[in-house]
Amino acid sequence: MIIRLRAVSHAYITEKGAHQALRDIELTARKGEFVTLVGTSGGGKSTILSLIAGLLKPTRGTIEIGKASGDRRAAIGYMLQHDYLLPWRTILKNVLYGLEIQKKICPEDIGRAHALLDEVGLSGYARRYPHELSGGQRQRVSLVRTLITDPDILLLDEPFSALDYTTRLKLEDLLFDLLHRYQKTVLLVTHDISEAIALSDRIYVLGGKPGRIVKEIHVPESMRPISPLSRRRMPAFQSIFQEIWEVMERHAATDTEHAAYGT
Ligand SMILES: Nc1ncnc2c1ncn2[C@@H]1O[C@H](COP(=O)(O)OP(=O)(O)O)[C@@H](O)[C@H]1O
Ligand SMILES: [Mg+2]
């Protein structure tokens, strides 16, 4: 396993006291696996990614990040919903920013940056500025910026949720293609059930308050090599959708009852 969470709970300490965000999370990802966490807003998805990235320490439980190769601990890349491109830097300089602050930049990186921009359909954009690009193009730059550091694990926090539907479907296919080709381990977070089924090998459904894993779904082997757009047309897609929908509804309902009785 390259990622393993055991009995992880997390509480945020606020002025009003402790706020329990997650309870007893058990989660794994194998090398090269595409794993998605699906759940409603406020369910604790981003908190899980921050814990894995080491930005937060869990209140309870353990988080193990495995080795990439040899003795090296797997490196993590993190991509967020908002692109956080620096407006005063060109696209190329935005792509190289991460390497620059890690002081790891070498001449070949410029060639790699151009090649990756090419791969995401942005050749010719290297000298442009972020404001000249559409939302979808900016998220592609963001993806290139994450990939250029060559992380073993990619944490993707609702990377497409601010985009319009068609742009999103196209980006799903691009992401799927690219990450499979580079054999990355991916942990994607989304509130979109279809997106989860279209992209993943395995899905965790997060529900309840505090958030916990309420279901784990293995996407059928036969579906896994198939691209997101084509998966959406498969009969199995609908049945998995229904399964996830029902679990999420059930947990949303129990939460409301609890809230009504103040428990
Ligand atoms: N920095 C923080 N301080 C206090 N509470 C937080 C903080 N970040 C998130 N929370 C709370 O923790 C819960 C889970 O949040 P989050 O992980 O952002 O959920 P999601 O990403 O699924 O929308 C929410 O109730 C949220 O309000
Ligand atoms: Mg979030």
Predicted pLDDT of residue 80: 85
Q: Quick check: 82 pLDDT over 80?
A: yes
Asked whether residue 194 is assigned to any structural domain, the reply reads no
> Could you tell me the residue range of the domain that residue 99 belongs to?
76-150
Tell me whether residue 225 is exposed, middle or buried, using C-beta atoms within 10 angstroms of its C-beta: 0 to 12, 13 to 18, 19 or more. Answer: exposed
Q: How confident is the model at residue 262 (pLDDT cuts 50, 70, 90)?
A: very low
Asked whether residue 56 is assigned to any structural domain, the reply reads no
Asked whether residue 192 is assigned to any structural domain, the reply reads no
- Name 124's Cβ contacts closer than 8 Å, sequence gap at least 6: none
Asked whether residue 46 is assigned to any structural domain, the reply reads no
Asked whether residue 142 is assigned to any structural domain, the reply reads yes
- Per-residue pLDDT of 160-215, as tens digits, reads 988 999 999 999 999 999 999 988 999 999 999 999 999 999 999 999 989 999 99
Q: How far is it, in rounded angstroms, from Cα 150 to Cα 208?
A: 35
* DSSP run (H or E) holding 108: helix 107-119
- Per-residue pLDDT of 146-163, as tens digits, reads 999 999 999 999 999 889
Asked whether residue 231 is assigned to any structural domain, the reply reads no
Q: What is the dihedral of CA 215, 221, 225, 231, to 10 degrees?
A: -60
Q: Is 208 in the pocket of ligand 1 (CB under 6 A)?
A: no
Q: How many domains does the chain have?
A: 1
Rg of the chain over Cα atoms, rounded to whole angstroms, equals: 19
Mean pLDDT taken over the chain: 92
3-state secondary structure of 192: coil
pTM beyond 0.85: yes
CB 228 within 8 A of CB 176: yes
Asked whether residue 144 is assigned to any structural domain, the reply reads yes
- Per-residue pLDDT of 101-141, as tens digits, reads 887 788 899 999 999 999 999 999 999 999 999 999 999 99
If you measure from the C-alpha of residue 42 to the centroid of ligand 1, how many angstroms do you get, rounded to a whole number?
Answer: 6
Asked whether residue 26 is assigned to any structural domain, the reply reads no
Mutate to test the pocket of ligand 1, among 8, 9, 10, 12 (most ligand atoms within 8 A of CB): 12
